[in-house]
Structure 1
Amino acid sequence: MSEDYQRFFILTGGPGAGKSTLIDALRERGFAGSAEAGRGVIQQQVAVSGPALPWNDPALFANLMLSWEMRSYDMARRETGTIFFDRGIPELPGYFRLIGLPVPPHVSAAAETFRYNRRVFALPPWPEIFSQDAERKQDFAEAIRTFEAVTSAYRESGYQLVEVPRAPVEERVEFVVDEIRRSER
């Protein structure tokens, strides 16, 4: 992989922690951002009555998320400037462990091959903003378990987690932008 990874920043956390809202706000500030793989795969699979839904075939769902994330990564390499990812490839081993399955070798290889900036922004579970919807069927307890699984996967892959404070979205935007500026010094 090229040096592109230095400008690729991941926002991670459990479901309902405000990642997509934060990426949307960063986009409004002129940054590029990816769409969340899980939500995208669910929407596409529902549209075609496909089998790769997390509540039907979690392993197939995870593999489609991996394909989505690899494509997002390749598309981002064609962009310039800082890019924010709504989750990333290195958390997929954590997802496999969360669903009680062994991590396939190709998933581990992808997590090592597709690298991002070593600083990963982690949005902790936040009960006051958590909600369920058509794609997010997990309850808050599962959101906590997901947060723990994915952040553990990032640590295991050598990433440094930077916890984003529970605050209004504009404060979160300022926090992330300030952290990136500090890391560039």
Structure 2
Amino acid sequence: MTKADMQWHEDDYVAGNPGLAGSAAMVVLSGCSGSGKSTLLAELGRRGMPVQPEAGRQIVKEQLLIGGHALPWDDAARFVELAASRAAWQFNSVRPGDKPVVFDRSVVDVVAFLDYKGLETPAHLRRMLEVYRYHRTVLMTPP
């Protein structure tokens, strides 16, 4: 990674990233917990692919560090709000390049967690599913 790759400017952040939304530049890696997604993502990154880590895992680490309750097993709705916001930030921060960016899960996975928990999906999160569009082909790891 060059110094230029590490520089970031506020103008690089484009809400909804319309130039890349739905394109082959935005690839999702999904699957059940423990199926090797993060290991595969780490290897792809090691081989030079741009990757984005799982937003939910980041939120869990941060909440545990600060003694927060926005955890999937404590306050699922708040956890989803934070994870969806982080996933949106990751999506919006992608810059065009010659390689696709591989995301460890997506906004879709985060919002689907509400359904899994039997909770209602708020309108703004349903809207996220329309705005934050990844490539239509999803890489799935087997259970």
TM-score, scaled relative to structure 1: 0.64
Unaligned runs of 5+ in 2: 1-16
Aligned counterpart, 2:89:
71
Can you list the C-alpha shifts for 1:108-133, whole angstroms capped at 9, x where unaligned? 100110111111111121xxxxxxxx
Can you list the C-alpha shifts for 1:31-53, whole angstroms capped at 9, x where unaligned? 11001111100000011111101
Unaligned runs of 5+ in 1: 126-185
Partners of 1:92 and 1:107 within 8 A in 2 = no
**Runs of 4+ residues over 3 Å off in structure 1:** none
Can you list the C-alpha shifts for 1:78-115, whole angstroms capped at 9, x where unaligned? 25231000000122332111011011111110011011
Aligned counterpart, 1:49:
67
CA distance in 1, matches of 2:116, 2:75: 14
CA distance in 1, matches of 2:59, 2:116: 18
Greater helix share, structure number: 1
Partners of 2:28 and 2:138 within 8 A in 1 = yes
CA distance in 1, matches of 2:140, 2:125: 21
Aligned counterpart, 1:99:
117
Cα distance, 1:3 vs structure 2: 3.3
Q: Please give the root-mean-square deviation of Cα atoms over the aligned residues, in Å.
A: 1.2
Percent identity reads 33
Aligned counterpart, 2:31:
13
Cα distance, 1:74 vs structure 2: 1.2
CA distance in 2, matches of 1:124, 1:104: 30
SS in structure 2 of the partner of residue 110 of structure 1: helix
Amino acid at match of 1:75: S
Aligned counterpart, 1:32:
50
Which one of 95, 105, 127 corresponds to residue 109 of structure 1?
Answer: 127
CA distance in 2, matches of 1:92, 1:69: 8
Partners of 2:38 and 2:104 within 8 A in 1 = yes
